[in-house]
Amino acid sequence: MPKPNTNAVSENAIRQELTRILHSPIFSQSDRLGRFLRFTVEHALSGKDDGLKEYVIGTEVYDRKPPYHPSQDSIVRTEARRLRTKLKEYYEMEGKDDAVFIYFRPGSYIPVFRSKDSANPAAAGNSNHELFIDGAGVHIAVIPFLDVSGQQLSSTYARGVTDELVHELMQSEGCRVVAASSVAQLGSQSSDIRDLARKLGVQIVFEGTVREEGNRIRVTSRIVNADGFQLWSQRFDAEADSTSLFSMQEQFASALVNRVRPQQTVIRVAEASAGPVILAVYPAILKGEALLEEGTIAEVQSALSKFREVAQTAPGYARPHCGIAQCYCWMALHGAPRSVELVSLARSAAERAVELDPDMVESIAAMGSVLALEWNWSGAETSFQHAAESGPRASGDRQYAMFLTTMRRFDEAWLRLENAQRIDPFSYLQKVASAKFFYLSRRYEEALEHFAEPLRYGPLPLEVQLYQALIHVQLGQLDNAKRITRFVQRSTGAQLALRAWIAEILARCGETTTAAAIVDEFKILSPIAPISRFRQALLSIALNDPENALSLLSTSFADREAELPYLAVDPRFDPIRQSPQFSDIVSRVRAGATS
């Protein structure tokens, strides 16, 4: 049976080729590269190439001792780059007539073996089946944004957003930005994108427009590939405030870059560039992430389909597996029944993402989210801290903040949320996380002040408005709470979790008859209702049925529902907080995964 990646090349022929390479003048002078090559080839021939990870090579070849963190010690990545260069040099000179080629794809430590008749390293390395190609990150050009309104403020925004976008991209790992002067010399948005990309030698071109209407500014940005096809488009609306020009321009640019920046480690550290497969699936990835941002069950389910599609097309690409994990985590935290099954699916996806790219911030943060939903508190915190140390990401900081909130570490959580806010204040998920934090930490007045200008960073999601209604209830402002809840009731679809939330708030406002009618119409408290026992318990408390709430929470604990850790901090459980049964459930959840 042929070994992995041998392409029918015999083991004997591979070993002979290895010996020739190691005895060549290029390699005989470099003992460490020789050890690297021999170790990986022997490991692959043994049929264990799945174990060829950066940590293994660091400890076995370069004698790194614990605590050894590949994310902090780049020896293996640096040497892998040297090894690919030396192999290329060898096959261009004395090995040009060898019958067997040994080479490494960018971003991989698993050697590939090809016979001379079937392929050559250069051709194989640039195949359309490759995720990565030789290069140093993604090469990008930014065309100056167009002012389509012809107003003074929109013109200022267009210039400012362009400058800030170039700056943000230049600060982002894995991005190589062509100088603005080079773009200006070759033309503007009226130029042919393919011709412009060819002349500048870039893979990606940013372009966009700025529009001013009334007191609103709209920034629309697009990414176009070197063939002229649009890969992605994003639109942000904000107040046209001339007194905060600099900060708004920075936040527009930061939010844009946060949505599209390279995530794969091999690209971030400039060891490789995006190959044709990544560029081909990039629109679907960004569409999936945009759908997840919308934060409704329909959009999240659509996002999940997108991520699955990409994972099937590019199984070696970690980013869609992160998306799959985050979709399942979102569902588990939004009233889904049998959430433990969703968490299990999220774990499988997160494990796959970490396996494919153990140093990718999003992979590490996804695993942190899964561990938190499994009540593995120490493991979750270790993952979140590792993600934070690996680089700033709005999603990672936001997930860490929600974990810290359940731990009642509110000051630390707020610092994480502030980091995420600076990176992407337009994010719907960020707005929801902020509202949830304010409510759970009981910072009610601060919450109302924070959301006093809802149009500054675009409209507020329905979930944020429901948290606002809960805050008004806590402050005794029942008319405001009812007004917001009625608006959401008219705007929402048939999502059972939102219906339960609406009924709960109306009951807390004293409208128990209306609340009971909603409960009866949608059978929300039925034992077979497709909603978590946790959400049913909240509704039971609002309907003044504490005994049923405690019974439901016991079932929720037995089912290990993902939302249960919020028991310790959610003000809605205050009416039963002194109950011994309630305290016992909280203590057992706090005991963690072993309880």
Q: Going by DSSP bridges, is the β-strand pair 138-142/175-177 parallel, antiparallel, or unpaired?
A: parallel
Give dist(CA 161, CA 189) in Å, integer.
15
Domain boundary residue, one of 91, 125, 159? 125
3-state DSSP helix/strand/coil percent for the chain, to nearest 5?
A: 60, 10, 30
Q: What is the DSSP string of 481-546?
A: HHHHHHHHHHH--S-HHHHHHHHHHHHHTT-HHHHHHHHHHHTTTSTTSSS-HHHHHHHHHHTT-H
pLDDT at 128: 35
Contact criterion met (CB below 8 Å) for 385 and 367: no
Q: Token digits for 516?
A: 């009971």
Give dist(CA 307, CA 259) in Å, integer.
15
Q: Are residues 101 and 148 in the same domain?
A: no
468 in a structural domain? no
Q: Token digits for 310?
A: 């990409």
Q: Are residues 112 and 172 in the same domain?
A: no
Domain boundary residue, one of 268, 288, 317? 268
pLDDT of the chain along its 595 residues, tens only? Answer: 344 455 568 888 898 899 999 988 888 888 889 999 999 998 888 876 566 788 888 898 998 888 887 767 778 888 888 888 888 888 888 888 888 889 887 777 888 888 865 544 444 444 434 788 888 889 999 989 999 999 989 999 999 999 999 999 998 988 999 866 666 665 554 457 788 888 888 889 999 999 998 888 999 999 998 888 888 999 998 887 777 788 889 999 999 999 888 888 888 887 788 888 888 899 999 999 999 998 888 899 999 999 999 999 898 899 999 999 999 999 999 999 999 999 999 999 999 999 888 889 999 999 999 999 999 999 999 999 999 988 788 999 999 999 999 999 999 999 999 999 999 999 999 999 999 999 999 999 999 988 876 567 778 899 999 999 999 999 999 999 999 999 999 887 778 999 999 999 999 999 999 999 999 999 999 999 999 999 999 999 999 999 999 999 999 999 999 999 999 999 999 999 999 999 999 999 999 865 5
Name residue 177's beta-bridge partners: 140
Total domains in the fold of the chain = 3
The whole domain housing 109 covers 11-125
250 in a structural domain? yes
Instruction: Please report which helix (H) or strand (E) contains residue 71, including its range.
Output: none
24 in a structural domain? yes
Q: Which has the closest alpha carbon to 62: 106, 105, 18, 109?
A: 109
Q: Are residues 581 and 496 in the same domain?
A: yes
Contacts of 430 (CB under 8 A, 6+ apart): 394, 398, 417, 420, 421, 424
Q: Are residues 144 and 189 in the same domain?
A: yes
Q: Are residues 90 and 50 in the same domain?
A: yes
What are the backbone angles phi and psi of residue 102, rounded to the nearest 5°? -120, 125
Give dist(CA 352, CA 54) in Å, integer.
16
Q: Are residues 63 and 159 in the same domain?
A: no
pLDDT at 25: 86
- Single-letter amino acid code for the residue at 459: P
276 in a structural domain? no
Give dist(CA 555, CA 297) in Å, integer.
24
pLDDT at 537: 98
Q: Which residues of 115-138 are buried (b: 16+ CB within 10 A; e: fewer)?
A: beeebebeebbbeeebbbbbbebb
Q: Which has the closest alpha carbon to 552: 568, 573, 571?
A: 573
289 in a structural domain? no
Q: Which residues of 143-166 are buried (b: 16+ CB within 10 A; e: fewer)?
A: bbbbbebebebbebbbebbbbbbb
Q: Are residues 121 and 145 in the same domain?
A: no
Instruction: Please report which helix (H) or strand (E) contains residue 435, including its range.
Output: helix 428-440
Q: Are residues 151 and 244 in the same domain?
A: yes
252 in a structural domain? yes
Give the three-state DSSP class for 208: strand
484 in a structural domain? no
**Overall residue count recorded for the chain in this entry:** 595
Give dist(CA 396, CA 21) in Å, integer.
44
307 in a structural domain? no
Greatest CA separation for the chain = 88
Give the three-state DSSP class for 367: helix
Q: Are residues 84 and 167 in the same domain?
A: no
pLDDT at 454: 55
- Single-letter amino acid code for the residue at 187: G
Q: Are residues 163 and 259 in the same domain?
A: yes
Give dist(CA 286, CA 309) in Å, integer.
13
pLDDT at 3: 46
What are the backbone angles phi and psi of residue 276, rounded to the nearest 5°? -60, -30
- Alpha carbon 177 to its chain centroid, in Å, reads 23
Query: Which segments within 136-203 are labelled E, that is strand?
Result: 138-142, 146-147, 175-177
DSSP summary character for residue 457:
T
Give dist(CA 43, CA 63) in Å, integer.
17
Q: Are residues 176 and 81 in the same domain?
A: no
Q: Are residues 120 and 142 in the same domain?
A: no
pLDDT at 470: 97
Domain boundary residue, one of 125, 159, 174? 125
CATH number for the domain spanning 161: value is: 3.40.50.10610
DSSP summary character for residue 191:
S
Give dist(CA 531, CA 336) in Å, integer.
5
